[in-house]
Structures are given as C-alpha cells and as structure tokens.
Amino acid sequence: MIILGIETSCDETAASVVRCSGDKIEVLSNVVASQIEIHKKYGGVVPEVAAREHVLNILPAVDEALKKAKINSVDAIAATVGPGLITSLLTGVETAKALAYAWRVPVVAVNHIEGHIYANWLAPNAKNNARFPALILTVSGGHTMLVLMSGHGKYKVLGQTRDDAAGEAFDKAAQLLGLGYPGGPAIAAEAEKFKVENFPPAGGLKVDLPRPMINSGDFDFSFSGLKTALLYAVKSDKNWKKKIPEYAAEFQQAVVDVLVEKTIKAALKYNIKNIMLSGGVAANSELRNKLESAVARKLSGARLHVPELAYCTDNAAMIAAAGYFYAKIKDFTPWKKLKADANLEKMKAR
Ligand code: KG4
Ligand code: ZN
C-alpha cells in the first residue's frame, strides 16, 4: 500500500510517500519545507505568516514528494487534522480533501501527536513493531505526555503537562538567554559547550534549578515554574552573560531529569518493557542518552525505541505511518467530513 502523508499543523509544510506491507513501512520520500528562517526574526511562530507560507508551499511539497518517490498514484492519503494552529491545519486538510476527490482515493484523519508516536514505526525501526503494551514519552513544542499504548490506536494518557510543554520550555528558556528560535537545539548546543569546556566544574554546579513535580506521585508535568526559576536566577546574577552554557546545561538537565524519572516510574508501575520516545524534544541527545541508560539500569529486560532524528521533529512520514495502520483496516473519513480541529483531544482522530 502506498500512502501520501500531509502535515501542516505548525510551521513545517510536509509531504511524504511511504510504501507499506505487513508491519514494514518504507519511506520513499520525506519533504519538509521548513519556515524556521522566516519565524526566527520574530522569536517564535507567527500564525498568520505560517498560514501564508503553507499555502505557497503545500503543492510544491506534494509534487516533490511524489516525484522523489517515483510514483504516479497513491492508495490513500493521511492528513494531520489537529491539534495545532487552525490557520496552518486548514491548508493541509483542504489539500488532502481536494486530492482525495480528484484522485478518488480514501483519506485517514490523523492526530498530530499520534503521528509523532508512529515515527517509531518507520524503517529502519520497523523491527520494533507490534511490541505492545508500550509506554510512550511524547515531548514536543505543544505537548508533553506519557501514554500507554496497548495496540494500534489504543491509548491511555497517564499524565501530561499542566502548563508549558517541554519544547515550549526550551524555547522560552532560549529566548530568555538570548539564544533565538527554535530554542531546543540552541540550548542543547550551549549545554554541550559547557560540558566540553567545564564538566565537571570545580566546586560543582553554581547554577541550581528545581526539578518540578519530580516526586509528585503522579505522571503529570509542569515546566512553567522552571522557566520562572531560570528568569530569577539570571536576574540575580550580574555575570549571567558569561555563564550561558552553564545555565543552558542546568536547564536542560532539569527538564531531562524530570522526564526520565517519570518515564521510569510509569514503566515500573505498569510493568512495561517497550519504551518509546517521540516528538521534537526526542531529538535532544541528552534526553536520548539519559533515558537509554536509565532504562538499562532500572528496567530489566526493557527496550528503548527512539525515532531517527529526521523523524523526531515535524514531518509527514510519521503521519503516513499512523495513517497506514488505519488504512489497513479501512478506517477512513469521507473526504467531505475531514475537518481541522485545533484543539483535538482524541488521540484517535476519527
Ligand atoms: O514536534 P515538533 O517539531 O513540533 C511540535 O509538534 O511542537 O517539536 C518542536 C519542539 C520545539 O519546541 C523545539 O525547541 C524542540 O522541539 N526541539 C528540541 C530539540 N530539537 C527540537 N528540544 C530539545 N533539544 C533538541 N535537540
Ligand atoms: Zn509536532
């Protein structure tokens, strides 16, 4: 089965073609028209600008994805219908509807977060398939969640952030430290400098930030207080500009510590042996490394699955992968009923 994935929930216009059979999903093309350079000067995504860019980029992206995949027709279209910025989502949804009508092919409505989870099913990680139950830590710019997945399309949200998402916290912390947008990679790069040059620092870390809710006894998260703690720490330090790598390292460590601790606790409580990481923050190497070593040390017989870097941040291959498992059981949405939903809560978008 050949699936065209379409993703426009935020600031990446993405189209991808995947070829699927059994549990194997092969990416034939993965086109991402990134708007990062455009939004950089505003310090974050400007919805109206993103919407206009999507309109300009979507058809060229679809065209390029089809050309690179060297195919002329697809069996189904999978499109992100939410959650996300409504003005961005509309372009992808309307494009999917128009193509479905013109090509007479069925459409699958995909939840963006569900798409992130399915990045774990993209080849060469295909061997990870069908390892249920799985525990997924999904960490992006808009969401932070621990999800128990008992089968394809079967989710139980164990906990989520009560305020800022992990990626959002990285973005805000980076802005505060004058590191620009997107914040995650910028913080990670500064933190790396600190490690290379000063780690471990003589006399220990001088910057000390809290690990919010680390012992809360549930699986919820909160990151807005951490950002405020960073703000106060910086405000009370005349020399903060000379210590940006140290602030970045401690901030990153605080986020990673909380994410790792809660994931391990959830895996122990529910006796899960398959742990998966997903979302833009899953590209963070400190998180990948710390989670990997914690899983090895604390969860005997468990495996950590991580998507390839290209499939952590927003892309359409992950949307096509999620769509495939529904297309397989003919769980389609009539194209006329396909609707963008900025606040979509159901993990299964239909
Ligand atoms: O999943 P994603 O591409 O978009 C959303 O669905 O939100 O995630 C984007 C988020 C941004 O907040 C960005 O700062 C963060 O992922 N991010 C990272 C890294 N790369 C991207 N955060 C930490 N470390 C990274 N290497
Ligand atoms: Zn995303």
Q: Does position 56 have pLDDT exceeding 70, yes or no? A: yes
- Give the length of the chain: 350
| H, E, C per residue of the chain | CEEEEEECCCCEEEEEEEEEECCEEEEEEEEEEECHHHHHCCCCCCHHHHHHHHHHHHHHHHHHHHHHHCCCCCCEEEEEEECCCHHHHHHHHHHHHHHHHHHCCCEEEEEHHHHHHHHHHCCCHHHHCCCCCEEEEEECCCCEEEEEEEECCEEEEEEEECCCCHHHHHHHHHHHCCCCCCHHHHHHHHHHHHHHHHCCCCCCCCCCCCCCCCCCCCCCECCHHHHHHHHHHHHCCCCHHHHHHHHHHHHHHHHHHHHHHHHHHHHHHHCCCEEEEECHHHHCHHHHHHHHHHHHHHCCCCEEECCCHHHCCCCCHHHHHHHHHHHCCCCCECHHHCCCCCCCCCCCCC
Given ligand 1 and candidates 10, 89, 140, 164, which is best to mutate, with the most ligand atoms within 8 Å of its CB?
A: 140
Question: Ligand 1: residues whose CB is within 6 Å?
Answer: 10, 140-142, 167-168, 170-171, 182-185, 188, 279-281, 283-284, 313-314
- Average pLDDT of the residues in 266-270: 98
Task: Determine the pLDDT at residue 203.
Answer: 62
| Residue closest by Cα to atom 10 of ligand 1 | 141
Task: Determine the pLDDT at residue 1.
Answer: 97
Q: How far is the CA of 140 from the centre of ligand 1 (A)?
A: 5
- Average pLDDT of the residues in 86-105: 98
Q: Does position 128 have pLDDT exceeding 60, yes or no? A: no
Percent of the chain, pLDDT > 90? 87
CA-279 nearest atom, ligand 1: 1
CA-to-CA dists, residue 219 to 137, 144, 227, 260, angstroms:
11, 10, 20, 11
Task: Determine the pLDDT at residue 196.
Answer: 76
CA-286 nearest atom, ligand 1: 24
Name the pLDDT band for 36 (thresholds 50, 70, 90).
confident
Task: Determine the pLDDT at residue 202.
Answer: 65
Say what the pTM is.
0.95
Q: Does position 129 have pLDDT exceeding 60, yes or no? A: no
Q: How far is the CA of 280 from the centre of ligand 2 (A)?
A: 6
